[in-house]
Structure 1
C-alpha cells in the first residue's frame, strides 16, 4: 500500500529546499556539485560497511526505498483480522484444520506468520506452546528489523560528519589556490560548504526519517502479530466466535470494534 503521507513529506521537504535556493540567489548552479555529493554519500556508505555487514547495509538501503510503502496495519486491517478469526472459529470447529487451510485467501497464504500459526495448530501443539512459538517468531522478527533502523540511524550520524570532512578538504584546496586573491575567498568558501549542506540534508531528510519509519512499521507490525498470536491460541482452544470477537476487540480502537455476533448453533 502506497504511503501518501511519506510522498507528501518528501516532496514538501525538497520543494522548500528548492524554494529557499531559488528565492535567495540567481546563481543556482553553485548548489550543484556531483563530486561533493559523491564524497558525502560514498563515504557514508563506506563507513556503514565498516560498521555493519554488506547484507545489513543493503537491506537498510532497501528499507529506506520502501518508506514510500507502509505495512497494512491500519485499524481497518486489524478489524478485518478480527473478523477473519471469528469466521475461522466456525470453520475450524466444524471442519478441522483442513477446512481452515482451505478457507485462506491467496494473500493470507502468502502471510508467513499466519501460515506458521496454522501449521502449529495442525501439528497438534498445545495452546501455551503455540503462544510461545509465535511470540518467539515475532520477537525474532523485531530484533532483525531493529538492526535496519540502527543502520539508517548510523548513516544519519555519519553523513553530516563526512560533509564537514568535504568542507575541510575544500577549504584546504581553496586556501592553497588563493595566491593572495581575496576576491576568490567568498566563492571558494561557498563551494567548500556544499558538502556540509549535502550531509545535513541527507541526514535529516532521508536517513533519519527512514529510520524512524522503519521503527514505526515494526512497532505496528509487532502489535498486529500479537493480535494474530492470540487469535490462533483462541482457535486452538476452540473458543466460540463471540468469545474470540470480544477477546480480540481489545486490540482495536473502540470506534473500530466488531459488534456482537449471534451464533447459529
Structure 2
C-alpha cells in the first residue's frame, strides 16, 4: 500500500500547499479564532442538536417553581448554558423582556462563534487550490531551468503536478466539507435553541407577579 502511494508523496509540494494555506489563514485571522476553528473539529461527529432534553428540564423547573417557589430553582443543577442563564435571571427577578433579550444575545453570540470557525475552514478551502497553482508554477520554473539535467526534470515535474493535486484534495475533501458540516450544525443548533426562549420567557412572566406579591 505504501509503495503504491509513494509516487504521490512529495514533501516539497506538500510544504508549499499546506504551509501556504496555513500562512494565509494565520495572516487573515487571529490566533484565537484559529484555535477555535481547530477546536471545532471535535463537534464534527456529533448529531444535530436536539432541544427536547432542555425543554423537558425547563418544564420540570417550572413545576418546581410553582410548588416550592422560584428561589428553589437556585439549587437546581443545570448543564445547558442557555437554560442556566435564563433560570439565573428569573431567580434574580428579571422580567420576560429581559430574559428574552439575554437569550437572544447568547444565541447570536454562539452563532457568530460557530460561523466564524466555518469561515476559517472556507478560507482554507479557497487558499489551498491557489497555493497548489503556485506550487505548479514553482515546479515548472525548476523544470525549465533544469532542462540540461534530465535527472532533475522528473522531480520538478512531480512538484508541479502534485502541488495541484494536494491543493484540490485539501480544498474538496478536507476544508470545504468541514466548513459545510460546521455550518449545518450551527444552523440546526440555532433553530433548536430558539425553541428554549418561549418557555423560559413564559416562566419569567408567570413568576414576576408572584415575586411582587411575596415582596409586598
Is TM-score (shorter-chain normalized) higher than 0.5? yes
Residue number in structure 2 paired with 1:170 = 139
How far did residue 35 of structure 1 move? 2.6
Runs of 4+ in 1 over 3 A off after TM superposition: 183-188
Q: CA RMSD, aligned part only?
A: 2.4
TM-score by length of 1: 0.70
Which structure dedicates a bigger proportion of its chain to helix? 2
Aligned residues: 207
Residue number in structure 1 paired with 2:37 = 60
Residue number in structure 2 paired with 1:261 = none
Q: Which is further off, 30-39 or 162-171?
A: 30-39
How far did residue 42 of structure 1 move? 1.2
Note if 1:84 corresponds to 2:57.
yes
Query: Which residue, 184, 194, 200 being the options, matches 1:226?
Result: 194
Note if 1:99 corresponds to 2:75.
no
Distance 1:100 1:72, change over 3 A: farther
Q: 2: distance between equivalents of 1:235 and 1:169?
A: 65
Q: 1: distance between equivalents of 2:103 and 2:33?
A: 24
Note if 1:160 corresponds to 2:136.
no
How far did residue 127 of structure 1 move? 0.8
Distance 1:209 1:218, change over 3 A: same
CA-to-aligned-CA distance 1:49-102 (integer Å, 9 cap, x gap): 111112212221222x3244326614xxx3333322222221111112332233
Structure 1, unaligned runs of 5 or more: 1-17, 240-265
Structure 2, unaligned runs of 5 or more: 208-216
Note if 1:198 corresponds to 2:166.
yes
Residue number in structure 1 paired with 2:20 = 43
Contact 1:30 1:191 in 2 (8 A): no
